[in-house]
Structure formats: C-alpha cells, structure tokens
Amino acid sequence: QKEVEQDPGPLSVPEGAIVSLNCTYSNSAFQYFMWYRQYSRKGPELLMYTYSSGNKEDGRFTAQVDKSSKYISLFIRDSQPSDSATYLCAMSYTDSWGKLQFGAGTQVVVTP
C-alpha cells in the first residue's frame, strides 16, 4: 500500500465549475500538507501549505485537512482553462529536513 494515494485522473470539468481533488494517507506521522500545481515540462509550484486540520482559503483555492480521517482535499472555484495542469498532493513529517511524500498527481483539464 502506498503511503499517499491520489487518483491520477484525468479529471475533465467545464470552465467555471468547481474542481475537487483529494488524497488519502496511511501514516499518521505526517503533519505538514501541501498542494502543488505542475504544468507540462515545468517544476511544481506550491499552491497551499497547511499544518493543522481544518480549512485554509487563498483566492479561488481552498485546502482542507482531516487528520482523523487521514484525508486532504483541494477545491478550485470558478475554474479556468489556465487551471489545466497536474495537481500533486505532498506531505512531510515533523522532524523534516527530509523528503516530501507525493501522491501520484491528478491531471485536470478545464474545457472552455
């Protein structure tokens, strides 16, 4: 079983719809949670960073963390074609200079 599970998609939505992405994880030692956006042939770009259960909002993006269920989500409101990319969830431990554990990444396509 992978430590972090993420549906690779593709997820296709019409412009203006809400994009809903999620990851589950098995290791309760993960304490820090991130969402990255990666365009083709580019490096990952940090969208959201959280370290506690609850919601965090930044513009059109909302990240949710439920540590009791080991489940994290990212919502993108009013989606645009420019949101078409691969979205990666990532997690790290409390002692961490160390590595991020990534999900597989979900490819999102927003159609005009």
Question: CB–CB of 33/50 below 8 Å?
Answer: yes
In whole angstroms, give the CA distance from residue 70 to residue 62. 17
Among 1, 59, 82, 97, which residue sits at the site for other proteins (rule: CB under 8 A)?
A: 97
* Nearest-approach distance from CB 105 to other proteins, in angstroms: 5
Whichever of 25 and 36 has its CB closer to other proteins, that residue is 36
Draw the binding track, 22-51, toward other proteins (x: CB under 8 A; -: no contact): ---------xxxx-x----xxxxxx--x-x
Whichever of 59 and 97 has its CB closer to other proteins, that residue is 97
Among 65, 103, 108, 110, which residue sits at the site for other proteins (rule: CB under 8 A)?
A: 103
Q: Identity (one letter) of the amino acid at 9?
A: G
β-pairing verdict for 106-111 and 85-93: antiparallel
Query: Cis ω on the peptide bond leading into residue 10 (within 30° of 0)?
Result: yes
Element (H, E) at 106: strand 106-111
- Residues touching other proteins: how many (CB under 8 A)? 29
- Please list the residues that pair with 25 across neighbouring strands: 4
Q: Which residues bind other proteins (CB under 8 A)?
A: 8, 31-34, 36, 41-46, 49, 51, 88, 90-92, 94-100, 102-105
